[in-house]
Structure 1
Amino acid sequence: MKVYLFFLLIVCNGISGVCQKAPETLLINSQDLWSKKQRIYVGDTSLLPAYRKMILEADRIVKAGEVYSVINKIPVPPSGDKHDYMSQAPYWWPDPNKPDGKPYIRKDGERNPEIKGITDHDQLDKLIHDTEILALSYFFTGKESYARQASKLLTIWFFDEKTRMNPNLNFGQGIPGINNGRGIGIIETRNLVKICDAAILISPSQHWSQTAQEKLRNWFSAYTDWLLNSEIGKDEADEHNNHGTFYNVQVMAYALFTGNTSLAKNQIDSAKSRLQSQLKTDGSQPFELARTLPYDYASMNLEGFFQLAAMSQKLNTDLWNYQTEDGKSIRKAIDWFVPFLSGKQVWPYKQLKSPTQDHMDVLLKMASEAYQSSDFAAYGWKISPEAFSEDLSQLKY
């Protein structure tokens, strides 16, 4: 009880600017975000677990003061420039029949631990995690220390000349003995869309200037140009599964962030085509279900479609309720999971390891809002109540 009252006191005293308008974000609905802030301010305890966890994490991040950069890696990319992002294909292993193990061979779903020898992917994931937590915490509390650390992280990764990442992924997920990089590596930047929202959320801060925002937009504009025009980018655009979906997610988000509305709108047609090609009429996803981690990949891919639907609303398009001529839709894709979530059916597909609920928690929260149905959220409370109550999606959607 004392712990509860302590955090309620933090909520009541820590949230500032409750009469301010929320910045217009991309993936997150700014009106919903603003509503959550008001609810916390008036004492809605249902949001307290997620809020408490977020603030504790933000405080930890500020105290640690850790920063990230592509130049921290030890290996040097084939270009000779450490500012180029570099990573190794996770599901490729040395060939035991070759003296040097090359060319590597594929083992789908089995992660080769040697990929940790190149730190860019890990550094990028930490950057995105920390920046999102800090930006949301700044929005909810107005504490400048959160925005200051977020600004520092963004500056070091994106436009400090000594530490910045070049806006390309020429050397993403290279396979030893086969190539230095490939289109599939672009999946590693799929969560950079959260950086766009984070930068928008800290824009009112004294620690994030219009000049800094413009520099970040310029970086994303250059990266978008690379996605559209490089051979590696074109390869990823042609992918037929989650890789193709998240390619469109990235292009749409970066286009919206940089003000290229026509390019963003073009991704809507691509999203509709992917619904047609990737789904069956019952809502199943055959390309993802053929993988060794079918639950994880199917829920991950559907999250990509959810993100496309969320951003399409900014363009006055309703992808949530769109149906192809033969009846395929995002709604059917989430409904397809329901018998397995409710326990009425056992998951029939072989999993290399136990599935995770990370993507599903987000899907259920987003679906409950998009379709105004508490049934979806109820499955989240049933499957993992503590994790679901503390998930950041409780505050974002």
Structure 2
Amino acid sequence: MARVQSVPATGIPATRPTAIGEAERARPASGEAAAAHAMPLTEKTAVDCRQLVKSFAGGSVVALDGVSLTIRSNEFFTLLGPSGCGKTTLLRLIAGFEMQDSGSILVHGQKLDGLAPFRRPVNTVFQSYAVFPHMTVEQNIAFGLEMQRRPRPEIVARVKAMLALVRLEGLERRKPSELSGGQQQRVALARALATEPRVLLLDEPLSALDQKLRTGMQLELKRLQAQLGITFIFVTHDQHEALTMSDRIAVMSGGRILQIGRPEDIYERPAARFVADFIGDTNLIEARRIAPTRFRIASGAEIEVGDPGPAGDEVLLAIRPECTLLGPVEPGSLSGTVDQLVYEGRGTTYYVALAEGIRLRACEQNRDGARPRFVRGDKVGVALPANAVRVLVE
């Protein structure tokens, strides 16, 4: 029997709620299968991870299972996945807070294996802000520069520049307790950027903010990254954050990278069932191939697709609800009954029951105050545009 399914996402908590990694760094000196994600190392490569393996609990818990990944210079790159997928572990390996069991990491051609965090050309911003509560804003921002023993005039100038960059001018004498959550996160960003890292690592930095602040900080991070022109590696479980902020996304599950691509590629052309399920809402229909681009579902109806997809006879057909079109019942077409509709402000989602237990969702925009086109119990025709249907093999 064919089914349509959707899987909700879950989050992962940040695992380092202190700024010690940044302080250490400031001290003066005395993707497809994981392997397929690596690209040739060039001057445009910021981070190159090669066959990284990391396990915990004496090897019984595998956090990363042969992950290879190449991140470009000046790229906003996101590691996306549910709790326990390995994304934060990968970030911590790059930062030096954990050491891999095997594999290697290069940042701008420099091999980092065995290097302490303070010797790596990276800085980290954490979920919990990790600003020093006893210091003022300007003291927090100056901390890393002072640890590097920069000249005082340079520190003053750099702090002033960072205050302007994150738009905190006039708040330099305040303590963190006198700031909002969004302002504290800006202080953490300014402090991390003050020492001019070549790569900035961000471990779910917006998850502690309310939705309105999150949206504002998403725009702020994009502005900062574009203005500074350095590489940002961003960890999140939030698909919307990943889609709206990233140049490219790596979707992770079970310690592996399942797909790397631009946001539109990940959303519109998922390479695996997990990716289709995890990124947004998706209708999934079990089907059998009867021709290269034609499939039969459990009800006996046949569906034509534009791209035959991977080889295999037993497949899943994936189509987004916004691409699932409803209209009058026509002879020979898919048809069903509206058994539920949900008003969602800008749009309405219809749940349509087809034969053999198949249930599809279709989303339509609400325009000019118009009422929904259908009500519960209506018989409707269902059209699945061939170019919007993706073929997946489990």
The structure in which a higher percent of residues are strand is 2
Name the TM-score, length of structure 2 as normaliser.
Answer: 0.25
* Normalised TM-score (structure 1): 0.25
More helix by share: 1
Higher-Rg member (1/2): 2
Report which structure shows greater RCO (CA 8 Å, sep ≥6).
Answer: 2
